[in-house]
Structure 1
Amino acid sequence: MPFDFQQTDEQRMLVETARGFIETELYPHERTVDKLGHVPPELGAAIKEKAKALGLYSANMPEAVGGGGLDVMSQMLFERELGKVNWAVQKFVGRPSAILMACKDEQVEKYLLPTVRGDKMEVFALTEPGSGSDAMSISTRAEADGDDFIIKGQKHFISGVGLPDFAIVFTVTGVEETKRGPRKQVTAFLVDKDTPGFTMRRGPRAVSYRAYDNYELFFDNVRVNKRQILGELHKGFVHAEEWLVGGRVFIAANCCGKAERAMDLALNWAATRKQFGQTIGKFQGVSFKLADMKTELAAADALVTYVCWKLQNGSMTNGDAAMAKLYASEMLGRVTDQAIQIFGGMGLMEELPLEMMWRDARIERIWEGTSEIQRHIISREMLRPLES
């Protein structure tokens, strides 16, 4: 279906504001925090306050709850700019989990509104040591005990910045019979960090986004009341699916932004670095790399923009989101690798941001669903109408 996307004046202003903020407030710190392996609390707080002052904080959330109320296309542009900088610092430009819109009654005042204001931070706790791509294999359980539930289990690779105030925890709460056999029923709970029996600790340090915290969560007979169910009992994946599928599109937009930055670094280097009496950009081995980078980025941008347009108009499928995430993340890997090749040895030196971007790009093909999972989603959607 054809579409015609032209940025509005408001969207152009958003991009300019975000770009200026990134250049002045985020770029100067990304290399330092990458080497430190964490973001100093005072720096994170300062970024958050400056983002609030510009109206960038919680821009993804509806105006009705105090957010910026960005539509999908505007959020895509916003995420594309933020993608140019390391996740460890850009995460402080808060974009709360949209799943929190499922909060009801007292949850709104206790969790939703404080998170939108930046007074609280959350983590999305789904992945477990025994269940990565296969989310339905989670084993953390919540057993009913009167009006309470007792949570037992473990999570890992739970991403965040700084110590979160609460976790959105996905647990098994039952089993239902389906045509394909027994299927786990999953429920999401809002669990405060100081709940007895709940422990959070920093997990292993990854080579990608070194300063972006990943946590291990342990639940040793953690008692929570039924009022802490997010959404409905046994409907945790219904709410998670809405957030995860849309999130993949914005991860794709992030990848496009990062690829553009890597390409621009390589382009400027090729236009100024001289070898054998001329700039290296005049050599076909370099110029063709630049041409391929430009073409792949343009293709990824077009796909992401189209899929976001479909999301905004309510016609996006899981396969659409998977294609955007798959292509943009793999494009980013190729572009950053080619950028390193153009720089040669200098590209791997810590004085430049490119080696960090190269490392960071690797995780984009893994988190929010691996490339293999995205291909499975796409092919399954293609085959389903033809199956009897």
Structure 2
Amino acid sequence: MDFELTDEQRMIVDTVRKFVTAELEPREDEVERRDEVPPELAAEIRRKALDAGLYAANMPEELGGGGLDATSMTLVERELGRASYALQMLVARPSNILQVCQGQQRDRYLMPAIRGERHDCLAMTEPGAGSDVRSMITRADRDGDEYVLNGTKHFISHADAADFVILFAATGTEQTSRGPKNRITAFLVDLDTPGLEVRRGSACVSHRGYHQCELVFTDCRVPTGQRLGDEGRGFELMTEWLGASRLSVAATSVGRARRVLEMTTRWAAERTQFGQSIGRFQGVSFQLADMATELDAAEMLTLRAAAKLDRGLMTDQDAAMAKLYASEALGRITDRAVQIFGGMGLMAELPIERFWRDARVERIWDGTSEIQRHIISRSLLRPLGS
């Protein structure tokens, strides 16, 4: 498989890298200190991203998006991953599932999201339903031309900065080979809809400024015209449109790990002990070698999955392997970086301790490492009838 970048892809990487270096990295300390992105700063970054042609790069060109293929989009995610999550998410990639919008939904949700006028968040997880999404208990009950929503979602990323939510709720049950399961349906719900309350969640050790929230629905009514796709098809929509999100986690993990390795290598070359740079000691140099090897392996798995997605050949196993290995490699790489930096690696004066903290969540969201291993092993065993 040829991993050589095209001239266009090299230009994309260069453009995004320069944007991250000039516009995002200098603001990281402020966001970390305040645990928020000031509204005026968010507006400025979004405007500059729109002007640079970086906004909605994942959306089709005919809709006003960047029209990038999966490999190019993975390269964008990799470069954005070098920056603080709260800042890089302002260079928005609206949820791909919005392409399912029909009729007035396109004018009200899809097109404004592509233009940067409205912002979405995605609500699946509940206190009792994480990886097992079909056990969710948030309900949408049909009442004439409306659905009545009741239930609670949590760990909903950046809901406090969104205008509407892509909600998944149960609309009845169906029999499966493993017993009754909820039928899931997707909805588009404006966050100012009566009966919907948005609450800031508990403070999180990872990604300060990028908040997780609770959404509480209490007899919240939405018209049937805000149903996304057919009733009972929400689980299939998740599988069809959201599976590639694991590639995003893998790509951003690779980008962040690359930045950590660069900083750690520079530190090892410049920091002296016993009359020489610490990088000359085998205990440090071998750790750098392992970091570089793991990083390249994670990048190859991620780019391979993206290339297969472009050809319509990517499997759940491909995405799971990329997400699993890249997120866990990031954890190991940031941990080694702290060790090489020594005491300074734990000080807020340097960003290493932030990279270390931020890395932890990557093994949990968008499917835990255990879920990824389940997907991979199931793919291996299923052809053998096990």
Same fold by TM (over 0.5)?
Answer: yes
1:111 equivalent in alignment to 2:140:
no
Q: Which moved more, 1:240-249 or 1:230-239?
A: 240-249
d(CA) in 1 for partners of 2:214, 2:313: 37
Q: Normalised by the size of structure 1, how large is the TM-score?
A: 0.98
1:60 equivalent in alignment to 2:66:
no
Deviant stretches of 4+, over 4 Å: none
- CA shift for structure 1 position 163: 2.6
d(CA) in 1 for partners of 2:216, 2:338: 40
- Give per-residue Cα distances to partners, 1:84-123, cap 9 Å, x unaligned: 1111000000100000001001000000000011100111
Cα 1:114/1:84, change in 2 over 3 Å: same
Q: Kindly report which structure 2 residues correspond to 1:289-328, keeping only aligned pairs within 5 A, or say none.
A: 289-328=287-326
User: Structure 2 residue aligned with 1:352, among 338, 350, 353?
Assistant: 350
**Aligned AA (1:351):** E
- Give per-residue Cα distances to partners, 1:129-183, cap 9 Å, x unaligned: 1111211111000011111110000000000275311111110001112333212
User: Structure 2 residue aligned with 1:272, among 266, 270, 273?
Assistant: 270
CA contact (8 A) 2:135 2:181 kept: no
* Structure 2 alignment gaps of length 5 or more: none
CA contact (8 A) 2:46 2:91 kept: yes
CA contact (8 A) 1:91 1:161 kept: no
**Aligned AA (1:9):** D
User: Structure 1 residue aligned with 2:7, among 3, 6, 9?
Assistant: 9
**Aligned AA (1:190):** L
d(CA) in 2 for partners of 1:192, 1:312: 33
CA contact (8 A) 1:322 1:375 kept: yes
**Aligned AA (1:174):** G
1:209 equivalent in alignment to 2:199:
no
Alignment match, 1:379 = 377
CA contact (8 A) 1:92 1:161 kept: no
d(CA) in 2 for partners of 1:209, 1:218: 23
1:364 aligned counterpart, secondary structure = helix
Alignment match, 2:259 = 261
Q: Kindly report which structure 2 residues correspond to 1:110-149, keeping only aligned pairs within 5 A, or say none.
A: 110-149=108-147
Question: What is the aligned-residue RMSD (CA, Å)?
Answer: 1.0
d(CA) in 2 for partners of 1:170, 1:161: 15
1:77 equivalent in alignment to 2:58:
no
- CA shift for structure 1 position 363: 0.3
d(CA) in 1 for partners of 2:123, 2:178: 27
d(CA) in 1 for partners of 2:191, 2:348: 36
CA contact (8 A) 2:160 2:213 kept: no
Q: Which moved more, 1:154-163 or 1:46-55?
A: 154-163
Q: Kindly report which structure 2 residues correspond to 1:171-186, keeping only aligned pairs within 5 A, or say none.
A: 171-186=169-184
Alignment match, 2:188 = 190
d(CA) in 2 for partners of 1:136, 1:179: 14
1:287 equivalent in alignment to 2:252:
no
Alignment match, 2:197 = 199
Alignment match, 1:91 = 89
d(CA) in 2 for partners of 1:356, 1:190: 34
**Aligned AA (2:290):** D
1:23 equivalent in alignment to 2:38:
no
CA contact (8 A) 1:244 1:368 kept: no
1:170 aligned counterpart, secondary structure = strand
d(CA) in 1 for partners of 2:195, 2:333: 45
**Aligned AA (2:103):** D
Cα 1:289/1:136, change in 2 over 3 Å: same
Amino-acid identity (%): 56
- CA shift for structure 1 position 219: 0.4
CA contact (8 A) 2:165 2:190 kept: yes
d(CA) in 1 for partners of 2:307, 2:97: 21
User: Structure 2 residue aligned with 1:332, among 326, 330, 333?
Assistant: 330
CA contact (8 A) 1:262 1:357 kept: yes
**Aligned AA (1:233):** E
d(CA) in 2 for partners of 1:30, 1:273: 24
Q: Which moved more, 1:113-122 or 1:173-182?
A: 173-182
Cα 1:161/1:20, change in 2 over 3 Å: farther
1:32 aligned counterpart, secondary structure = helix
Q: Normalised by the size of structure 2, how large is the TM-score?
A: 0.98
CA contact (8 A) 2:151 2:216 kept: yes
Q: How many residues align?
A: 386
- Give per-residue Cα distances to partners, 1:211-251, cap 9 Å, x unaligned: 10111101000111111001111001111122331010121
